[in-house]
Copies of this chain bind each other. A is one copy, B any other.
Amino acid sequence: MKAISIKKPGGSEQLEIQERPVPSLEEGELLIKVQASAINRTDTLTRENKQLSEPYPILGVEVAGIVVDSNLADEKIAIGTRIAGLVNHGGYAEYVAMPADRVFHMPDTMSFEEAAAIPEVFLTAYQTLYWLGKLKQGETVLIHAGASGVGTAAIQLAKKMTKANVIVTAGSEEKLEFCKELGADKGINYKKEDFAKEVLDYTQNKGVDLILDFIGASYWDQNVASIKTDGRWILIGTLGGAIVEKVNLGVFLQKRIAIQGTLLTPRSDQYKAELTNEFVKKVMPYFENNSIKPIIDTTFSFGDVTSAHLYMEENKNTGKIILSIQE
């Protein structure tokens, strides 16, 4: 089968289509004929990872496709079923093996591109808002990179599921306008405004209950200023740098701030299965009635994966970048 891996760790020019064997199935797995995958930051980090040795992995952590074979004790998922979900790696390929306990069934009206836009960002947004962030009805949440894949997912979940008061940051008026269309209550252009000042003005100096932070170091002091006493702060990326020059722990005591780092991809199979199962129960009904939507920026063809990676690295996207597998 055709699959996308790397010549060696490095930039997007290292990506290439290679011939690989169709995966064999372990017990409990499905073989998926992949129709669409999607680009994630974790893929660009894997692409650059100098620790990797040959054979290099097939990139890609999520797919939508059709079940073509299975190795299950009981036949709960029929051949031909349209499904989507997280894979541990190997999503940029014609076929992938996936544990059956972490698929979700696609609504009939949903396209494969739309379905591939859901798993990673919506599961991350759900996990960080609810499992880790404990977002409650009517609380205020600050979502950085509001127009990103996880950002556009988190805005919709926070509004539809918990009627939260949603503040977002983004780098252009266009992106902010899109976030507002998705339900954001307040948009802040971080290139033009001090977001902490804007957050405090908007919340009458109370600050926010929860921060979803993809940025890290460059936003540190402003996040500390923006958070409420007893606020929760979930760190899910370090796009603005990983090294904070000076952290004042005194404020962490006084404001009783709780900060937690997380990544979804390295978590256990069991964790991903439990998260997917809860997500299917609680969130899929919103997709079925169209009140929450997968947000796709652009779909790239399989052969154009280099452009897709460059597009993500230039932060051009609003929502997901999809990789179409079957041409």
Contacts and interface: CB of A to CB of B under 8 A. Distances in A.
Contacts of A200: none
10 contacts: A216-B249, A235-B252, A235-B253, A238-B250, A242-B250, A243-B246, A251-B261, A254-B261, A257-B260, A257-B261
Interface residues of A, number: 29
Nearest to A259: B259
B262 A259 contact: no
A242 B235 contact: no
A160 interface: no
Interface in A135-189: none
A256 B260 contact: yes
A78 interface: no
A97 to B, nearest CB: 26
A74 interface: no
A245 interface: yes
B238 A243 contact: no
A231 B262 CA distance: 11
Given A256-B263, A258-B260, A246 B245 contact: yes
A180 B259 CA distance: 32
A293 interface: no
A102 B245 CA distance: 41
Contacts of A235: 249, 252-253
A204 interface: no
Contacts of A248: 242-243
A255 interface: yes
A92 B245 CA distance: 41
A256 B217 CA distance: 17
Contacts of A255: 261
A263 to B, nearest CB: 5
A33 to B, nearest CB: 33
A110 interface: no
A260 B254 CA distance: 11
A262 to B, nearest CB: 5
A236 interface: yes
A73 interface: no
